[in-house]
Structure 1
Amino acid sequence: MPAEPAQPALPANGADPGQPAWGPDDAAAWAFQVLGQTVRIACDDAAPARVLRANFAALPAADAQAEADLDYRACRHPQGDGWMLLRRGHPAVTAPDLCDLLYHLEKDLIIALQLRRPTLLHLHAAALEFQGRAWLLAGDSGAGKSTTAWGLLHHGFNYLSDELSPVDLEALAVHAYPHALCLKRRPPNAPAWPEGQVLELGRTMHIPVAALPAAVVPSPCPLGGMLFIRHDPLLREPELRPLHAAEAGAHLYVTTLNALAHARHGMDAVVGLAKSVPAWSLTTADLDGTCRLVRKLALQQSRQAGD
């Protein structure tokens, strides 16, 4: 993403001339719950309303008239093309298109949730459920974690999250954050692509949860395994390699978003999680073969857990 320009701060009451007024009775506003927080979003235009509603539609609805913990407004920029995102009491952010608008909202929301729920270990990872256990999929940008998640949803896995996986370290369980699944491109030979339902925003495409081929798991789910993904375009067959706790911890620390909120810069939290949950390195090849291999692993782990 391009670097963000500095933005002027707006008064907490949104009363700056030329800016939309805040109002709890705004008919264009809706609200949802995530990690115990009430998030309210108001839109002054149908275009962002369609995109943002579709992105967050699977999160539990909240009363739009109630006091919000996080209060947002999306509107057209009053001085030119593009859009403006406001959070009450925070600087305004401009976005040239709807792709950037959604990006800035997601980023701000994820950071705000980390600050409001600091005892959770927030990971940049997808989370899927299989036979009562959650599986985390982590990797560098472009490694294919979202594509792999999309494929696994056609192989018996259910959906918790695509980007943010908040882990309860005491319960060793991951909370759901079921926003629309985000892909940078349509996967080759993608199974059962939901034609006409995907939000095409230029640089990214978003599959609303209602269009996913699997159920949403709304409650915290105990962790069953962690997969650290990379893609090798020359590989003919996918490969799985079990990781020792030390290697898994090193991979896990890189994907931790709020390490500094935990003791010893998060080292104890990450090491404890790596020692408690088995982990593998997954080098992906073709999507179907990769998903079959992961499903086989998940079945083996499920049988062992039942012994």
Structure 2
Amino acid sequence: MQATFDPSASPAATTVALIGAPTDVGASVRGCGMGPDALRVAGLAECVARMGLTVVDRGNLAGPATPWRAPEGGLRHLKEAVAWNRSVYDAVDAALGAGHLPLLMGGDHCLAIGSISAVAWHARRRGKTLRVLWLDAHTDVNTEATSPSGNLHGMPVACLLGHGPSALTGWSGLPSALQADALRFIGIRSVDAPERDAIRALGLTVFDMRHIDEHGMRTTMTEALHGVDEDTHLHVSFDIDCLDPDVAPGVGTGVRGGPGYREMQLCMEMIADTGRLGSMDVVELNPALDVRNRSAEIAVELIESLLGKSTLARP
């Protein structure tokens, strides 16, 4: 199976808009609200600029503090999560409207609801087919009825598919921002029992770590990118805990057995080769649990690869 992309293609956007969302409103532990500034300290803007791209740092969005309350109706901090995601939606919408490539710096993964909802609206308006690569240790397809914790960072995929709370669905102008066939999960290795049932019922395409172990990252990414062409808007939602915690310890929900550094570099380089990257999230970086900002530095290196940096100029 070969991916149908043009390796000589270039991303339409030559300006990267950095959007910080410093909140852990949907997370299980404190700390990922410091993620945007950790990426800045690791030199994200400078590295992207050295690649010849224009960088516009929009600063950090403002939003409510995390109250750290117990779940209500199976959900923690719903009101606050809605407020943060509304801010994210507006910022990503503005960046795409200006022709920029939005890079959302989280913050926790519930922020992908606002980000991808805005991307879905723009893709539909421009007649583009949306493909979302969900790089994560978890599938995040729980709902308030199945989540053992009520933490919203375990529910963004369900919300984007139209199965979450009404306050977090329908933002793209349709009942669901995504259809199941738009999603490809990569690096999965921690799935709750109800999520397994949901994955099967929804027909989601999941490349778990067993698949990567058996087939390798190259074949996995060829499969994940199959069908990507000039009419595709490619969005990458990169949870840092997709990486093995021995590589990137600065995450709140690390799971052993993830991709190593070189595997993830190949993943990012193959995405860049499509020339179709149009937007991205980088989330769940927790500097409070990191070692000398190592995870942020690795994230920056991987973002560079995702934006097209490579050792050689490849044909």
TM norm structure 1: 0.32
Which of 1 and 2 has greater Rg? 1
Query: Could you say which structure has the higher strand fraction?
Result: 1
TM norm structure 2: 0.32
